Structure 1
Amino acid sequence: MSKVPAWAGRLRTERTRRGWSQRDLAVQLSRVADRVLPEPESVIRRIRDHECGKHRPDDEYAELYCRLYGLSEHALFGDVDQEMYLGDEIDAIELARRAGASDVGRETLERLELAVDDLASAYPRTPPAQLLGRVKRHLEYVVRLLDGRKTLTEHRRLLVAGGWLSLLAATCHIDLRQYPAAAARLRTAGQLADHAEYPEIKGWCLETEAWQALTEGEYQHAMILSQGAQDVAPRRSSAYIQATGQEGRAWARMGKGTETRAALNRIHQMVSPMPMPDRPEHHFRYDPAKSEAYTATTLSWLGDPAAVGYARQVLARLESTDDGGPRPRRAASARLDLALALLATDEPGEAGHITLQAVMSGLLVPSNYWRVKEVIAGVEEHGLAEAVELREAYRELYGRSSKAERPQLSA
């Protein structure tokens, strides 16, 4: 069986992550086309051929795909085969391992640990489905190494690497709302952390569960999990600080102002003396600037007017070239924080405009859809005409993917 080209896989991924059938995609392509396309059945046949790699899209359809998905031609149809890249990544480590004396070896472990850091640093700028593929390949490699000869120290380092990779995979699954897979990954990460006696991974597992509960509207459960993460994680570690932030968010959603501000104060006390890490974009390393983002989110959920100033600062930082460069995915999420804060200060017009920018960016992940719907509901309550355009844009881009969302949208 011939291998499906990488661009065909990317076309299929972009469609399925929006929850569209091939018929839905045909409608969307017709909407963005400059001319009347052939009848739907003809377009669907083209889409089917494109996604199975039978025919590469011609210039017209390639442009339509790029326009619809908000991606460059290089990003969508570049000649770099993602699977080949993944294989090269692993093969480079494997070649170094075979040059060593043992089945694992110091150099292999160091390169594997560097790869784990690279993957965690890629999280803010990489679509979760794409990153998940890379993480799974590295997990497969860790499993192979665990079956080989190794010292006790090498065995523990492999367990730690596997724990971080399982945790990152769980995070991607939650972004994609693939909750059973996420739960399995979190259980594995927790077990590896237990075997390796590595409590920070254990703390991150509970914090990640708290984040998922928060996105599902289970605020009391999120608060309990966040506090459990703080009990497990090393004091003042990144997991401990992040869990404190999740606790503050949960209190905010429950409308508990005193408890919310107490959590924010604890975070500020911990992060104020911290230096900026070498890789601030690393998902599992807390940096002082992250506290601003958490403050913006938390205060916006609490309805505090001060959230507007924080949210504007965070958005400007995420779009700047400083501190690790622009982080477009986080910036899209930060726009939702700013929009919710603007609603609380009775500025629904700007809130709607900011949310439309986030929606049209194509960078929001499924775990953020409920936040968009909350802002849309707030804009609609003010009876603005812009609400119609905003809701229609949301339905076109994300509507079908959000059908599984909980209907509860407010605290």
Structure 2
Amino acid sequence: MRAERQARGWSQMDAVRALESHADQTIPGTSSLLRNWKRWEAGEVEPDDFYKPLIAKTFGTVSAAFFPRAGHRNAEAELLEGVGMNTLEFVSRLRTSDVSPATLEALRITADRLCSEYPYMSPEQLSIEGHAWLRRICNLLDRRLTLSQHQEVLSLAGTVSLLIGCVEYDMGQRHEARATRRAAQSLGEEAGDADVMGWAHEMAAWFAITQGDYRGVIAASNAGEFVAHNRSVTVQLAAQKAKAWARIGDRREMEKALDHGRAILETLPYPEDVDHHFVVDPSKFDFYAMDCYRLFGDNERAAVYADEVIRSSTDADGTQRKPMRIAEAEITLGVVAAREGDVERAVSLGRQAISGERKSLPSLLMVSGELRQILAKQYPTEQEAAAYLEELRALGARDA
């Protein structure tokens, strides 16, 4: 709370008045709120469930991101405990004619596991596993299935196809990724699965923003919102629109899109698995806001969000749980450092961001391009900056 307040240049009294302006019902007087605020900032007590969403709204985020809680699923254990089968038994069952509820539940758990491994597993390995399981799932379509089973299998195939498409795009396989995205959308339409359809449109928006097609981002996001309504994917669609408006230079529309996404996210239940790629976890809202405020040159707010992204994406033992988010946060901090004249720190952070094993090349290159432009323009004679720019060019050649 203190970091967010200070990033805006607010005193504690300013923060209390801002909070009062966001309240839609009567709350205690200013002096009482100020006393509570001081206790909240000092960590003496935690705000209750009434004040948490109000504080989050004051700072333009959501309560579950501002006041996170622990939660992690063990999908491998679920497979054994939930359906009484280990992986070998499960694969053997898939080869028989039996398509029981336990078989479908095991498939759901496996699909969830694959989606939860997206943030950190190597894209090559995840692609191999994803294709292998997609073949097994699709083979079930040749069996005698009830209507509901047929729809469930189509939905699972659509989900795994979405994952494969994301991994292909991460590796720079753009043509394959586009074809896989279209296949996933078709499967979602056939199954009547609004989530799969919505994420297929979100992928189209993601592809478009990394290629500079900002109007295409807005069109894809609008199409996705039309089919997904107020699901989790709608939050990410709103975020893609916000990022596109930020790159167009329209701050008002950017803020509107962020507010729309925040309002939807605030109404959704806390996700069971925050690592699942096709579930928007609350901490990701800070990731969206970081990107937008960096683009508008709001260095203090961008840095606060970047620090929070790194914190929430790192386990207590230092393990990076979401290395791709951390890389973009490091680029953000590098951009801020470059703007403030610290070229050495800017280059160091930029190198750190592109050195990780798990990368989404198109996204990383898009964000790194902002740091590249600043370094090339403001530090043309700095040797370390020039060396880093050469490293970026080499990385870009892999995505060509």
Regarding TM over 0.5, the answer is yes
Which residue matches 1:62? none
Task: Return the offset for 1:110.
Answer: 0.5
Structure-2 separation of matches of 1:125 and 1:362: 9
> Which one of the candidate residues 358, 366, 369 is aligned to 1:370?
366
Counterpart for residue 387 of structure 2: 389
User: Equivalent residue for 2:190?
Assistant: 195
Identical amino acids, percent of aligned pairs: 29
The one-character-per-residue Cα deviations of 1:219-255 (angstroms, maximum 9, x if unpaired) are 11111111211111131x1111110000000001101
The partner residue of 1:113 within 81, 84, 108 is 108
Paired letter, 1:380 = A
* Other-structure match for 1:296: 290
Moved more, 131-140 or 360-369: 360-369
Cα distance in 2 between the residues matched to 1:234 and 1:92: 39
Partner residue in 2 for 1:307: 302
Give secondary structure in 2 for the equivalent of 1:363: coil
Shift of 1:98: 6.1
Q: Tell me the C-alpha RMSD between the 2 structures.
A: 2.5
CA contact (8 A) 1:103 1:149 kept: no
Distance 2:93 2:182 in 1: 31
Q: What residue number does 2:354 align with?
A: 359
The one-letter code of the counterpart of 1:128 is: P
Residue 91 of structure 2 corresponds to residue 94 of structure 1: yes
SS at match of 1:124: coil
* Alignment match of 2:120 (pick from 122, 125, 128): 125
| 1:103 and 2:98 are equivalent in the alignment | yes
* Counterpart residue identity of residue 370, structure 1: M
Aligned-pair distance for 1:156? 0.9
Task: Provide the rounded CA distance (Å) in 1 between the counterparts of 2:176 and 2:356.
Answer: 27
Distance 2:262 2:342 in 1: 28
Distance between the aligned counterparts of 2:159 and 2:336, measured in 1? 34
Contact 1:242-1:286 within 8 A present in 2 as well: yes
Q: In 2, Cα distance between the equivalents of 1:347 and 1:271?
A: 36
Shift of 1:275: 4.6
Shift of 1:346: 5.3
Report the number of matched residues: 312
* Partner Cα separation in structure 1 for residue 341 and residue 257 of structure 2: 26
TM-score, length-scaled by structure 2: 0.72
* Cα separation, 2, equivalents of 1:299 and 1:207: 21
- Secondary structure of 2:316's aligned partner: coil
CA deviation string 1:320-362 (max 9, x = no partner): 339x973223312321233234445555443222111112234
Farther-moved stretch of structure 1 (344-353 vs 239-248): 344-353
**Contact preservation (8 Å) 1:200, 1:234:** no
Distance in 1 between the 2:176 and 2:325 partners? 24
Q: Deviations over 1:111-152 (max 9, x none)?
A: 111011001100000122221111100110012111112211
What secondary structure is seen at the aligned counterpart in 2 of 1:297? helix
Q: Which runs of 5+ in 1 are unaligned?
A: 1-87, 405-411
Q: Structure 1's 318 and 373: CA in aligned 2 closer, same or farther, altered over 3 A?
A: same
Structure 2, unaligned runs of 5 or more: 1-84
